Structure formats: C-alpha cells, structure tokens
Amino acid sequence: MKPQLTQRIQFSLAYVLVAALVLSFLQSWLLAPRSVDLPMSKFLDLLRADKIEKVALTEREIRGLAKPGALPAPPSAAGDRLRQMLGSDDDVRVFSATRIPGVDEQSLVRELEQHRVEFAGKVETTFWKDLLFGWVIPLAVMIGIWMFLMRRVGGGPTQALSFGRSKHKIFDRKELKTTFSDVAGVDEAKAELIEIVDFLKNPKKYQRLGGRLPKGVLLVGPPGTGKTLLARAVAGEADVPFFTLSGSEFVEMFVGVGAARVRDLFEQAKDKAPCIIFIDELDAIGKSRAGSTGFVGGHDEREQTLNQLLAEMDGFDSSKGVIIMAATNRPEVLDQALLRPGRFDRQVVVDKPDLRGREAILRLHARAVVLAPGVDLGVIAARTPGFAGADLANIVNEAALLAARKEKNAVEMADFEEAIDRVVAGLEKKSRVLSEKERDIVAHHEMGHALVATSVAHADPVHKVTIIPRGIAALGMTYQLPTEERFLMTRSELDDRIAVLLGGRVAEELVYGEVSTGAHNDLERASEIARLMVTKYGMSERLGLASYGEHTPLFLKGSGVGGDREYSEETARAIDEEVRAILERIHDRVRGILTTKKAVLIAAARELKRTETLEGERLRRALAGESTMEATR
Ligand code: ADP
Ligand code: MG
Ligand code: ZN
C-alpha cells in the first residue's frame, strides 16, 4: 500500500517538527533566569542607592543585574524546581523595567555614569518572535492550504496538486442498478447493445475463432433519447464497473490537463477490466480538428486531449475486456479519426421513439406514480409525437406534481394534458409538435415519395417511412435503402430519382389541391439533379454534349464564392428552360403514377398517421394497397 506509507512518513515528519518547536519554547521559558519586573521609579531608586551592578538598554526596556539582596523575591514560578535541580543559584538578581518612551534617553545615561553602573546598549532580540511570525505561522498556513488542495484535487494527500487526475466517477457493480428494463422504446439500439453485454460477459466465446472484440461503441441520437441511460444499463447488465466522465470535463483551461486526464482514466480502467469507460458528450473533445484551426493555437487543449484519446484507444487491447462507450448528439462534428475502425467502430443510433415506444416509456415512468383509473397512456403517447424519452419522463413527473398540488389522490388525465402543454411550451421549437392538419399533410407527402419509389423502375427500395419530426428541416422522412453503391448513374436512374423527390409534392397537390412549404428541400434537390443533367452530363438534346461550367479561380475553390460564368446569357436562359422542362416532364409522369394510385396513397397515409412509422411487412402491405386495418397493434 504505497499511498498509506507516504502518508505515514509525512505525518511523522510533521509530528517531529511540531514537537521540536514546542520543546524549544518550553526550554527557553523554563530555564530563563528568574527576573522581577520593576516600575521605572523603583529602578531609579535602586540606581540612586547604588544597588545596581550592570544594565543593558534596549529601546523599550532596561534589563539588569542588581547587587545581591537588593531585589524582593518574586512569587515562586513554574521553573523553580527545575532550576534547583539544575543547581542554578536561587538568589534573584535579574530585573527588567519598562522605559518611559522618548523622555529618559540623555538623563538615564548620565545617571548611570554617575553611579558607575556598567551599561551597554542592546539591540532588542526578537528571535523567537521573528521565528514565529516570520516562519512558523506562514509555513503552517501554507502547509494547511497545500493539504487542502491535495485533498480537493487529488482525492488523497499523496496526489499532491495533480490537476491531471481524472474527475471521472466510478460506479461499482453494486451501485449500478440500471438495467435494460429501465429503458423502453428504443428497441433497435437495445438489441445492438445486448451484443455488447455478451462481449463483456463472455469475451472468450467471441475470441475463440480469432475475432477481435470491438473497442468503441458510439451512441448517436438526439438529446434526451436515453443514450446515457443505455450506457449505464449496459454496465448494469454486464455486471462490470462503469467509469463515466463527460467530454467537457476533459477540457480545461490549461493545456495538457485534458490529455493527462485521459491517460489517467485509461490507466485506472485497465486495472479494473472487464469494465466500461463511458465518455458522455464526446463532441466536446472530439470536434473535427480541421475546423478548429481558425486561430493560431486556438484549440490546442482540445486537440491534445483528442490526440491522447486516439492514442489510448489504439494502445490498449480490447481482449482485456475494456469497452469504450461514448455518446453524442452531433456525430457530424466528430473528427473522422474517431470513427475509424479500431476506435469507435460501432455506431448505435438511438432515435426518438415512435408511438408505441412513447407509450412504453410513459408506462415505465408511470410505474412510480399513482394513476387514476381513467388514464390512458396510449392517448398521451399519441399526443406527443417528436418527444424524446426525457421529455416523456418529464411529463409524467410534471403531471404527478400538478396532481399533488391540487391535493388529488391520483394523477388524472387532465393533469397529463396540462403537463404536456407545459412541457411543450418549455420545449418551444426544439422539438416540434405537429398539429393534426400538419401531420395529415406530412403523412400524404411522405407516402407520396414512398409510393413513387416503389412504382418506378430504377429507384432504391423504401424500407422505412416516418412522420416523427427529426433534425432541423425534416418533418418526416422516407428512407430508401440503396441496393448497391453507386458511382455511375444512367439517365433513367436520374429521372427516377427526381421522380421520387417530386412524389411528396405531387401527393399534396392531388390530395389537397394545393401545396405546402414542406417540399422545398425536395425541389431544391430535384432541380440540382436536373441542372447537373443539363450542364455537366450532356443529357439534354437541346444543349448537347457541352459541359457548361463556372470557372472558379483556384483560390476561391470551396469558399462558396462563385466564379465567372463561362457561357453566354442566351445559353444561361436555355439551361434554365431545359431544367424546367425536365422537371415538368417528370412532374407529369409522377402525377400520372399517383393519380392511378390515389386510393392506395390515402389509405397508406392514414395507416402512417396512425402508426407514425411504417417499415418491413406493414410498409410493404400499405404500399401494395392491401388493407392493413386488421393488422392493428
Ligand atoms: P441522453 O443522454 O440521450 O441525452 P439521458 O439518457 O440522459 O438522455 O435521458 C435522460 C432521462 O430521460 C433518463 O434518465 C430517463 O429518465 C429518461 N429517458 C430517456 N430516454 C428513455 C428511454 N428510452 N426509456 C426510459 N427512460 C428514458
Ligand atoms: Mg446524456
Ligand atoms: Zn419530401
């Protein structure tokens, strides 16, 4: 036990020091010759009666030796017996008198001379005082502060001033009670993490055939979806220690501290393997280094921390059973180096929950509160599209507080309604809640995309359609799964891609007779493709094979500043017209497709509105126009 030993040595040193000081004070006090305090007048009396042998003058005091028998004996003092034992003589002859400041300088000397007293000046000795106030007390204060800092910073007296110590919290097996049963509504993420748990539990099983265990698992998802919760649940399920630290805690004012913390964290974790290191809010350290070079030396600290993290991740070997988990809600800003194989090579998406997920989360959190009989959590789930787990937990809690304030015995539906309003008001734009009308439009729009994608020959298959608001711009989303990676595309493939993009808008036209602003991103992308077809790919008969470029000087490349157009005004107009013609032609085609399938579109949109997310078999059936009403949940 090294730390305890050093601690003991330090303690003994301090003890010896204090003891020596006390002893020397005691000695000087006890063995000082006994002396009497005389008033000035008495001293002068004695002087004038020639009873003084010699004196020493200091600025404030006269100390001296009287002739034997001249002084009255002082009351017996503490050192008496000791002095007797040491054989010092008992006769008290030493005295001191306080001088009257500033008046007796001349006369005193003259009088001493007259009475032939041996006298000398003496500089006042303040050795002990100097020692005490100049050294002992300041030193004691400094040592005190030092010890305090050591305790604060390092968690123990041995870790003196080590700012590099990691501030992570360690949770032991016993403290971690979170399990997968505390997480609901994110079943896909859970399924992937169950595998990680198995890695931690039986590493041998996976290494048997020479496989290498994953090192890093990155949880990606919007705030409040339960990433932190999931990480703890993995540790709880695997029954291993859990080291957790937030990314922002690595980054300090001082360059190098963050790197030292990373080193320390990994060192400690290796001793405890198998275990989980969890770095929350990874983007605080993992921001792309490329973007951070705006100032010279501007982000040195973060960069060093990141480099250290990369080095540590490379340096340790996952067969020991240390798995690094991290969470972020901004994967796009992370440095590419972090996502390389051998680092955070597994990414688990933790998405906002769908209707069923929300109901499950509400149910989970409602276990702790007393519900009135009329409460239907399914209805509450239906009212809260776009809410993350944390928002839902918040709603249950708010409702319980509201009911308690009204002195109710159970939480009623009305409390939940009020809680939703409150939470929505608090969330503002952060998490959109769509009105019924908007949800209707979005459902038709997204089904429009999906239906066109399944109807044209060259589009990637649709695997998921959702109207759960995500991200900044998208109110809904149609996910197409590319069947193969594309490097070359034919003209008909580009045509079909535009068709799918226009599908959303055309669906709105057909169903509502008017269009919303929701399609502007689709139109932007469709126009972009059409423009490229005309200007770069030579796919327009009218403009032929020429590539119409813009000449961007090299130093402006990528700066967003456009260069000079290399074609005439007429050509520009022709390009615009041609782009419009392509879009119009495809628009008509899409309109034709969706008009014949309008009934399917409407039924599928209704189904999508009901379930919020359609995928797999249910999506296939909805798109095929098979009645899905019997396939209720
Ligand atoms: P994140 O780390 O993704 O921002 P947290 O894990 O910190 O979100 O979630 C905050 C809280 O919200 C959790 O402690 C939990 O009470 C609740 N919560 C979030 N997601 C879920 C979920 N999927 N299931 C149950 N509770 C959840
Ligand atoms: Mg978190
Ligand atoms: Zn769209």
Distance 388 CA to ligand 1 centre (A): 8
C-alpha–C-alpha distance, residues 590 and 498, integer Å? 10
Statement to judge: residues 41 and 176 lie in one domain: no
Determine the 3-state secondary structure of 585 from DSSP: helix
**What does the pLDDT look like over 527-561, one tens digit per residue?**
888 888 888 787 877 777 767 766 555 554 555 45
Distance 116 CA to ligand 3 centre (A): 118
pLDDT exceeds 50 at position 250:
yes
Quick one: which of 600, 622, 548, 556 has its CA closest to 579?
548
Question: What is the per-residue pLDDT for 630?
Answer: 46
Residue 327 CB–ligand 1 contact under 6 Å: yes
Question: Is the separation of the CB atoms in 607 and 444 below 8 Å?
Answer: no
Ligand 1 atom nearest 184 alpha carbon: 24
Q: Which residue has the higher pLDDT, 109 or 596?
A: 596
Asked if the structure places residue 131 within a domain, the reply is no
Residue 228 CB–ligand 1 contact under 6 Å: yes
The span from the first CA to the last CA of the chain, in angstroms, equals 61
Distance 135 CA to ligand 3 centre (A): 78
Residue 247 CB–ligand 1 contact under 6 Å: no
Statement to judge: residues 6 and 112 lie in one domain: no
Neighbours of ion ligand 3 (CB under 5 A): 504, 522
Distance 424 CA to ligand 2 centre (A): 20
**What does the pLDDT look like over 557-583, one tens digit per residue?**
555 455 566 677 888 888 889 999 999
**What does the pLDDT look like over 352-362, one tens digit per residue?**
888 889 999 99
Statement to judge: residues 459 and 593 lie in one domain: yes
Q: Residue 72 is which amino acid?
A: P
C-alpha–C-alpha distance, residues 551 and 536, integer Å? 13
Question: What is the per-residue pLDDT for 254?
Answer: 58
Of 349, 372, 395, which marks where a domain is finished?
A: 349
Residue 355 CB–ligand 1 contact under 6 Å: no
Statement to judge: residues 390 and 456 lie in one domain: no
Determine the 3-state secondary structure of 208 from DSSP: coil
Hey, whose CA ends up nearest to atom 27 of ligand 1? 389
Question: Is the separation of the CB atoms in 156 and 150 below 8 Å?
Answer: yes
Would residue 432 be called left, alpha or beta, if left means φ above 0 and alpha means ψ between -120 and 50 degrees?
A: beta
Hey, whose CA ends up nearest to atom 25 of ligand 1? 183
Residue 534 CB–ligand 1 contact under 6 Å: no
pLDDT exceeds 80 at position 96:
yes
pLDDT exceeds 90 at position 477:
no
Ligand 1 atom nearest 229 alpha carbon: 6
Statement to judge: residues 472 and 573 lie in one domain: yes
Pocket probe mutation, ligand 1, options 229, 328, 354, max atoms within 8 Å of Cβ: 229
pLDDT exceeds 90 at position 178:
no
Hey, whose CA ends up nearest to atom 11 of ligand 1? 390
Question: What is the per-residue pLDDT for 426?
Answer: 60
Question: What is the per-residue pLDDT for 103?
Answer: 66
Residue 325 CB–ligand 1 contact under 6 Å: no
Helix then strand then coil, % of the chain, to nearest 5: 55, 10, 35
pLDDT exceeds 70 at position 88:
no
Place of tokens 């005004």: 569
CA count, 13 A, side-chain hemisphere, 20: 7
Ligand number, closest to the Cα atom of 396: 1
Domain count, the chain: 5
Quick one: tokens of 195? 């595998």
Question: Is the separation of the CB atoms in 251 and 285 below 8 Å?
Answer: yes
Quick one: tokens of 591? 């309109």
C-alpha–C-alpha distance, residues 309 and 261, integer Å? 10
C-alpha–C-alpha distance, residues 515 and 509, integer Å? 6
Q: What is the DSSP letter of 124?
A: P
Ligand number, closest to the Cα atom of 279: 2
Tell me the CATH number at 594: 1.20.58.760
Residue 227 CB–ligand 1 contact under 6 Å: yes
Asked if the structure places residue 159 within a domain, the reply is no
SS3 string of 21-87?
Answer: HHHHHHHHHHHCCCEEEECHHHHHHHHHCCCEEEEEECCCEEEEEECCCCCCCCCCCCCHHHHHHHC
Residue 348 CB–ligand 1 contact under 6 Å: no
Tell me the CATH number at 119: 3.30.720.210
Range of lowest pLDDT (241-255, 513-527, 529-543, 577-591): 241-255
Of 349, 375, 408, which marks where a domain is finished?
A: 349
Hey, whose CA ends up nearest to atom 17 of ligand 1? 390
Q: Which residue has the higher pLDDT, 42 or 156?
A: 42
Of 349, 364, 386, which marks where a domain is finished?
A: 349
Domain residues for the domain of 552 are 436-632
Question: Is the separation of the CB atoms in 180 and 237 below 8 Å?
Answer: yes
> Highest mean pLDDT range out of 252-266, 473-487, 577-591, 616-630?
577-591
Residue 219 CB–ligand 1 contact under 6 Å: no
Question: What is the per-residue pLDDT for 474?
Answer: 57
Hey, whose CA ends up nearest to atom 1 of ligand 1? 224
Hey, whose CA ends up nearest to atom 15 of ligand 1? 390
Distance 500 CA to ligand 2 centre (A): 36
Question: What is the per-residue pLDDT for 293?
Answer: 46
Asked if the structure places residue 94 within a domain, the reply is yes
Statement to judge: residues 335 and 360 lie in one domain: no
Q: For the chain, give the longest Cα–Cα distance.
A: 139
Question: What is the per-residue pLDDT for 158?
Answer: 40
Residue 203 CB–ligand 1 contact under 6 Å: no
Statement to judge: residues 182 and 312 lie in one domain: yes
β-strand partners of 614: 465
Residue 389 CB–ligand 1 contact under 6 Å: yes
Place of tokens 């939703």: 420
Distance 310 CA to ligand 3 centre (A): 39
The mean per-residue pLDDT over the stretch 393-399 comes to 92
Q: Which residue has the higher pLDDT, 605 or 264?
A: 605
Asked if the structure places residue 139 within a domain, the reply is no
User: Around Cβ 115, how many Cβ atoms within 10 Å?
Assistant: 14
Using 50, 70 and 90 to split pLDDT, how confident is the model at 589?
very high
Quick one: which of 457, 436, 209, 218 has its CA closest to 325?
218
Residue 361 CB–ligand 1 contact under 6 Å: yes
Range of lowest pLDDT (349-353, 399-403, 482-486): 482-486
Ligand 1 atom nearest 350 alpha carbon: 3
Statement to judge: residues 186 and 324 lie in one domain: yes
Task: With both helix axes pointing from N to C terminus, report the angle between 598-611 and 491-512 in degrees, rounded to the nearest 10.
Answer: 80
Q: Residue 225 is which amino acid?
A: T
List Cβ neighbours of 32 (8 Å cut-off, separation of 6 or more): 79
Asked if the structure places residue 134 within a domain, the reply is no
Strands 94-98 and 61-66: antiparallel
Neighbours of ion ligand 2 (CB under 5 A): 228
C-alpha–C-alpha distance, residues 276 and 324, integer Å? 6
Distance 115 CA to ligand 1 centre (A): 97
Ligand 1 atom nearest 223 alpha carbon: 4
Tell me the CATH number at 337: 3.40.50.300
The alpha carbons of the chain give a radius of gyration, in whole angstroms, of 43
Tell me the CATH number at 392: 1.10.8.60
pLDDT exceeds 60 at position 620:
yes
Q: What global pTM score does this model have?
A: 0.54
Give the DSSP letter string of 384-400. -TT--HHHHHHHHHHHH
C-alpha–C-alpha distance, residues 623 and 615, integer Å? 10
Distance 199 CA to ligand 1 centre (A): 24
Ligand 1 atom nearest 353 alpha carbon: 23
Ligand number, closest to the Cα atom of 248: 2
Statement to judge: residues 610 and 461 lie in one domain: yes
Using 50, 70 and 90 to split pLDDT, how confident is the model at 153?
low
Range of lowest pLDDT (5-9, 165-169, 212-216, 627-631): 627-631
Distance 515 CA to ligand 2 centre (A): 39
Residue 396 CB–ligand 1 contact under 6 Å: no
446 is catalytic: yes
Asked if the structure places residue 547 within a domain, the reply is yes
Statement to judge: residues 382 and 500 lie in one domain: no
Question: Is the separation of the CB atoms in 374 and 410 below 8 Å?
Answer: no
Question: What is the per-residue pLDDT for 81?
Answer: 67
Statement to judge: residues 319 and 237 lie in one domain: yes
Distance 187 CA to ligand 1 centre (A): 14
Residue 328 CB–ligand 1 contact under 6 Å: no
Calculate the average pLDDT of the chain.
Answer: 78
What are the DSSP E strand ranges found in 550-596?
550-551, 564-565
Quick one: which of 355, 327, 128 has its CA closest to 232?
327
Determine which one of 249, 281, 446, 509 is catalytic.
446
Ligand 1 atom nearest 182 alpha carbon: 25
Quick one: tokens of 109? 């000397």
Asked if the structure places residue 508 within a domain, the reply is yes
User: Around Cβ 290, how many Cβ atoms within 10 Å?
Assistant: 8
Statement to judge: residues 292 and 389 lie in one domain: no
CA count, 13 A, side-chain hemisphere, 67: 12
Quick one: tokens of 154? 């390092």
**What does the pLDDT look like over 425-443, one tens digit per residue?**
665 444 556 677 888 898 9
Asked if the structure places residue 540 within a domain, the reply is yes
